[in-house]
Amino acid sequence: MKSISSQVAALLRDKFGQSNVRLLLKFLAVLTFFFVVYTIIFHLIMGWEGRDYSWITGFYWTLTVMSTLGFGDITFATDLGRLFSITVLLTGIVFLLVMLPFTFIQFFYAPWLEAQNRARAPRALDKDIRNHVIFTQFDSVTVNVVDRLKQFGIPYVILIEDLHRALELHDMGFKVMVGDLDSPQTYERLNVQQAALVVVLNEDMKSTNILFTIRGLSDQVTTVTNADLDDSLDILQLAGSTHVFQFTKMLGKSLARRVAGHDMQANIVGRFDRLLIAEAPALHTGLKGKTLAESRLREITGVTVAGIWERGKLEIPHPDTIIDASNVLLLAGSAEQFERYDRLISSAGQHHLNQGPVLVLGGGRVGQSIADNFEERGIHYRVVEKRRDIVDKRSTFILGSAGDLEVLLKAGINDTPAVIITTHDDDLNIYLTIYCRRLRRDAQIISRASLDRNVETLHRAGADLVMSFTSLCTNTIINLLKPGQLLMLSEGLSIFRATVGPSFINKQLRENRIREKTGCSVIAVKRGEQLIINPEPSIILREHDDLVLIGVADAEKRFIHEFPHMVY
């Protein structure tokens, strides 16, 4: 009741609401006038018929007839009285049954409901909210980033122009604010000057307008945006974007780098200070079939196998873990250690590799980015694309459907060492993955996923590696938000820092059993300005040491739950 009364009070304070209430009161005054006049006429006609009733009875008769209840306990005996009854009845139908409900809804209930909805989807943030993240669009990337922000306890708000859409998101549990994307007043109410980051992932021209509007209020707030077109890169920077990315091209390069067999070097996927994180396919290397202990990677090169990707799942390795051809090793080490690893793998690698063209299914922006990367690296490839305007631009592009066997045979499906599936339609990607795996049991299949929920499905369909566009965007945004504290890698994998707690001080690293309890691996210890990469399990932890850990999202949550006393 307190909420309703406050909303009614707010409605009455509003000028438009006050005008509506005045109109409603005027209508009620007209109804009262009819009640009084008809009650008087009732007494006059009843007196003319020789009957006498009280004024309360006259008002009672008028009310029952106008409301069409007409109990029939009081009736006129003359035609004049009956004609008057018809007049009162028709007046009641028009004013009480037709006009009153619509008037009440139009001038009171609808404005009150609108005020209630506005309270659920506010048009301004509290002034004390700061260091928050602002999103100017709601999509799958926003959902992913919001999940991570909730984990870190970072406030956020999603700016939505349409009130009804904002209410839908509010009911789904998202924090939203209603406002125009191109209005300076909107961003003032969003406290943009105190925001930690503004994420602008709208269409290029809309993003330009938003960024330029924000810069009119604040030169300091960090912004990140995506450029769909090459021509938009400079324009978005001129509009004031702090960071401009072409996420589709980034995805294309990432997919291209994961093709095994064309170079034997580890693929660096992240840097944390001097610590490097890399992925290395076991396919076509001398590691295949060996246990981790037999490989002697740490002893020979110094790199640590922090995890093993097996069909999209990160497994925590043990000395007896056997390295399979489908595995992708997750390695941690310094630049010097990776140089030794590359020399070791190159000298021991299997060089009788299939020299057929790498097959790329889909010639959109991601496929074109892969083609550019392959041309720079001198890798033989073919791209299958249905759009003639794209195919005509390159001799390595083949016109046709990726689901047509004749087209795939022409592109070299029988000789290809790898197939990369790049379309933005996850249903089609799953279809093509199943088809290509049936055609080529031995080829490496790499697929794009637009939504994270389809990553596991693509692996089950036969993909060796899957990269999510949503995860790529999410990782990039989070890394900008927490530089030096958190580094998100592919598919929910992240590196993070945690300050040693009191129970860890003066104890060996192995005594804390971090890997067994949480699934996270300690890959470095930061001691002052010194970074101890791949520390020995026997290292004694000191006060003010920072642990650098790696793990998937669930393992990271278990670490936070298991060791809440550690500064994170």
> What is the percent of the chain where pLDDT is above 90?
37
* Number of separate domains in the chain: 4
Domain boundary among 315, 348, 381: 348
Same domain? 65 vs 160:
no
Predicted local confidence at residue 2, as pLDDT: 45
Q: How confident is the model at residue 118 (pLDDT cuts 50, 70, 90)?
A: low
First to last CA, the chain: 42
pLDDT digits (tens, 9 = 90+) for 65-94: 988 887 888 888 888 988 999 999 998 888
553 is in which domain, residue-wise? 500-562
Residues 81, 170, single domain; the answer is no
How would you label 389-427 residue by residue, b for 16+ Cβ within 10 Å and e otherwise? ebbeeeebbbeeebeeeebbeebbbeebbbbbbbbeebe
- Is the model's pLDDT at 43 over the cut of 60? yes
pTM (predicted TM-score): 0.70
For the segment 18-24, the average pLDDT, to the nearest whole number, is: 71
Q: Are 158 and 237 in the same domain?
A: yes
What tokens does 534 get?
């791949």
Confidence bin at 556 (pLDDT 50/70/90) = confident
Q: Which contiguous run of DSSP H or E holds residue 26?
A: helix 15-48
Candidate from 237-246, 261-270, 538-547 with smallest mean pLDDT: 261-270
Q: Do the beta carbons of residue 329 and residue 258 sit within 8 Å?
A: no
For residue 86, give every residue at least 6 positions away whose Cβ sits within 8 Å of its Cβ, in sequence order, or none. Answer: none
Determine, yes or no, domain membership for 314.
Answer: yes
pLDDT higher than threshold 60 for residue 445: yes
The C-alpha atoms of residue 422 and residue 446 are separated, in whole angstroms, by: 9
Residues 17 and 54 placed together within one structural domain of the fold:
yes
Do 6 and 115 fall into the same domain?
Answer: yes
DSSP one-letter code for 96: I
Does the residue 344 lie in any domain?
yes
- In this predicted structure, the answer to whether residue 113 has a pLDDT above a threshold of 80 is no
What pLDDT is attached to residue 16?
56
Please, which pLDDT band fits residue 483 given cuts at 50, 70 and 90? low
Question: Cα torsion for 200, 248, 556, 145, to the nearest 10°?
Answer: 20
Q: Residue 36 is part of a domain; what is its CATH number?
A: 1.10.287.70
Same domain for 332 and 268: yes
Whether residue 420 is predicted with pLDDT greater than 90 in this model: the reply is: yes
The count of residues in the chain is 568
pLDDT at 117: 63
pLDDT digits (tens, 9 = 90+) for 509-532: 888 888 888 888 888 898 888 888
**What is the rounded CA–CA span in Å between residue 524 and residue 303?**
12
- Identify the residue with better confidence: 367 or 5: 367
Using CA atoms, how far apart are residues 32 and 493, in angstroms rounded to an integer?
72
Same domain, 204 and 308: no
Q: Give me the CATH number covering residue 519.
A: 3.30.70.1450
Helix, strand or coil, per DSSP, at residue 136? coil
Question: What pLDDT does residue 312 have?
Answer: 65
Mean pLDDT along residues 391-412: 93
At 20, list the tokens: 């509506």
Sign of CA dihedral 480, 484, 489, 495: negative
Mean pLDDT for 96-125 is 73
Concatenated DSSP letters of 174-220: --EEE--TT-HHHHHHTTGGG-SEEEE-S-HHHHHHHHHHHHTT-SS
Instruction: Indicate whether 110 and 7 sit together in one domain.
Output: yes
Picking from 386, 402, 491, 493, the residue whose alpha carbon sits closest to that of residue 449 is 491
CATH number at residue 199: 3.40.50.720
Domain assignment of residue 428, yes or no: no
pLDDT of residue 119: 62
Write the Ramachandran bin of 173: left for phi over 0, alpha for psi from -120 to 50, otherwise beta: left
The pLDDT value recorded for residue 319 is 83
**Is the Cα torsion angle 481, 485, 488, 493 positive or negative in sign?**
negative
pLDDT at 1 over 50: no
Bridge-partner residues for 385, per DSSP?
399
Residue 295 lies in a domain: yes
Average pLDDT value for residue range 244-253: 92
Task: Map residue 126 onto helix, strand or coil.
Answer: coil
Mean pLDDT score, 168-176: 90
Return the pLDDT at 487: 63
Least confident segment among 52-61, 109-118, 477-486:
109-118
- Residue 508 clears pLDDT 50, i.e. is over it: yes
- What mean pLDDT, rounded, does the chain reach? 85
Please report which helix (H) or strand (E) contains residue 144, including its range.
helix 140-152
Does a structural domain hold residue 257?
A: no
- What mean pLDDT do residues 294-309 have? 85
Report which secondary-structure segment, H or E, holds 390: helix 388-391
- CA triple 57-63-68, angle to 5 deg: 130
Amino acid at 344: L
Predicted local confidence at residue 95, as pLDDT: 82
Q: Are residues 114 and 9 in the same domain?
A: yes
* Mean pLDDT for the stretch of residues 354-365: 87
274 and 328, same structural domain?
yes
Residue 555 lies in a domain: yes
Residue 100's closest CA among 90, 92, 110? 92
Cα atoms in the Cβ-side hemisphere of radius 13 Å centred on 2: 0
Name the token pair of 474: 């999410």
Domain check: are 20 and 102 in the same one?
yes
Q: Is there a domain that residue 558 lies in?
A: yes
Lowest mean pLDDT among 5-14, 249-258, 285-294: 5-14
Which element (helix H / strand E) includes 304? Answer: strand 304-310
pLDDT value at 352 more than 50: no
Strand 275-281 versus strand 243-245 pairing type: unpaired
Specify whether 8 is located in the same domain as 112: yes
Residue 386 reports pLDDT greater than 80: yes
Q: Name the pairing type of β-strands 267-272 and 275-281.
A: antiparallel
Which of 319, 348, 377 is the last residue before a domain boundary? 348
Both tokens assigned to 398: 């083949």
Question: What confidence tier does 264 reach under pLDDT thresholds 50, 70, 90?
Answer: low
Does position 143 have pLDDT exceeding 90, yes or no? yes
Q: What is the C-alpha to C-alpha distance for residues 400 and 377, in angstroms, rounded to an integer?
A: 26
With tokens 């040491």, the residue in question is: 545
Above pLDDT 70, what percent of the chain? 89
Of residues 311 and 478, more confidence is placed in 478
Q: Exposed, middle or buried, 376 (CB in 10 Å: 0-12/13-18/19+)? A: exposed
**Is 407:398 a contact under the CB 8 Å cutoff?**
yes
267 versus 119: the higher-pLDDT residue is 267
Specify if 304 maps to a domain: yes
Tokens of 480: 């900008």
Find the helix packing angle between 204-215 and 232-239, rounded to 10°.
20
Tell me how far CA of residue 528 lies from CA of 160, 411, 476, 499, 545, in angstroms. Answer: 45, 55, 27, 12, 7
